[in-house]
Amino acid sequence: MVKSIAYFGPSGTYTEEAAFQYDPQANLQPFPTIPAVGLAVSSSATDQGVVPIENSLEGAVNNTLDILISQPDLSIFGELVLPINHYLMAKPGTNADGIQVIYSHPQSLAQCQDYLEREFPNIQQVASLSNSAAVADMEKSSIPAAAIGPQRAAELYGAEILDRNIQDSPNNMTRFVVLALHDHPPTGADKTSMCLSFNQEAPGVLYRALNEFASRDVNLRKIESRPTKQMLGQYIFLIDCDGHREDPLVNDAIQALNTSNSVLKVLGSYPRWIDEEAK
């Protein structure tokens, strides 16, 4: 049976490319926002969903973190990492010297700031809903315009590529996660994502929480914070660690953190992405 996968669209985005790489046989369905992808999965309108969660240059994708924290039915089932190569494109025949506005997703604009300041220092930058939508915005513009996006977007919209690989860093990578109603069974090479909050502030409370992992020799890969959105100065801590939630040591740490002063929610255990080229 063909799997249906929601992704942060429209067609021509990097997320579509990630979804296709994850499952080339799936029925890919674009959704206009990351929360809409989450809702498609949580309501079983699709089997799974693919959304960006982290970029090597710009950090976390907050919309994805927020839906994982707030939607109890969603779990991370998998992850994959794609290199991000940005292209500058315009309507065929457009002269680069005449461009007055450049459209792209805010993350992509940020990832190309050095290039834009060097090549187009006085040009207006306008945020679009996605990299693919930026090409549509460019084509509808009444003034000479360009867009930044993936090569596939240029192919879909018939745009002319003016410049290639314009991202500020050659190591621009985006991590995507696969959302589902359950996480992945253990594979022996896993990662677990979780969020942790504290009911009361106290000196050393975070230190003691992290020591539950260190004392069991569980490696932490990432820790960051997000506002609880309930009160200024209150935060939720997002943690990635090696291992599966069913592994004895990881499970012991999780149980130790579910105390009267802390609440831990497992966002999912799933196979850890391994860079085959780095081996």
| Cα–Cα distance measured from residue 109 to residue 102, given in angstroms and rounded to the nearest whole number | 9
CA atoms of 104 and 163, how far apart (whole Å): 15
Q: 87-164 sits in which CATH class?
A: alpha beta
Same fold, 4-83+172-180 and 190-278: no
Cα–Cα distances in angstroms (integers) from residue 253 to residues 196, 215, 277, in the given order = 12, 9, 33
Q: Does 176 qualify as catalytic in the annotation?
A: yes
Residue 93 has a pLDDT of 94
Residue with the two structure tokens 């196979």: 271
Query: Structurally, what CATH architecture does the domain formed by 190-278 represent?
Result: 2-Layer Sandwich (3.30)
Q: What is the pTM of this model?
A: 0.84
Residue 138 and residue 147 in contact, taking contact as beta carbons nearer than 8 Å: yes
Range 4-83+172-180 has CATH code 3.40.50.300: no
Question: Which entry of 31, 77, 120, 176 is annotated as an active-site residue?
Answer: 176
pLDDT for 120 equals 96
Domain positions in the chain = 4-83+172-180, 87-164, 190-278
pLDDT number for residue 260: 65
The answer to whether 140 and 118 are in contact (CB under 8 A) is no
Per-residue pLDDT of the chain (279 residues; tens, 9 = 90+): 779 999 998 888 889 999 999 999 999 999 989 999 999 999 999 999 999 999 888 889 999 999 999 999 999 999 999 998 999 999 999 999 999 999 999 989 999 999 999 999 999 999 998 888 899 999 999 999 999 999 988 988 999 999 999 999 888 899 999 999 999 999 999 999 999 998 877 888 899 999 999 999 999 999 999 988 887 878 899 999 999 999 999 999 999 998 766 788 999 999 999 876 555
Q: What's 49-108 look like in SS3?
A: EEEEEEECCCEECHHHHHHHHHCCCCEEEEEEEEECCCEEEECCCCCHHHCCEEEECHHH
User: What is the model's pLDDT at position 202?
Assistant: 80
DSSP code, position 168: S
Q: Is 31 a catalytic residue?
A: no
Residue of 174, 192, 198, 237 marked active site: 174
Structure-block tokens of residue 5: 């996968």
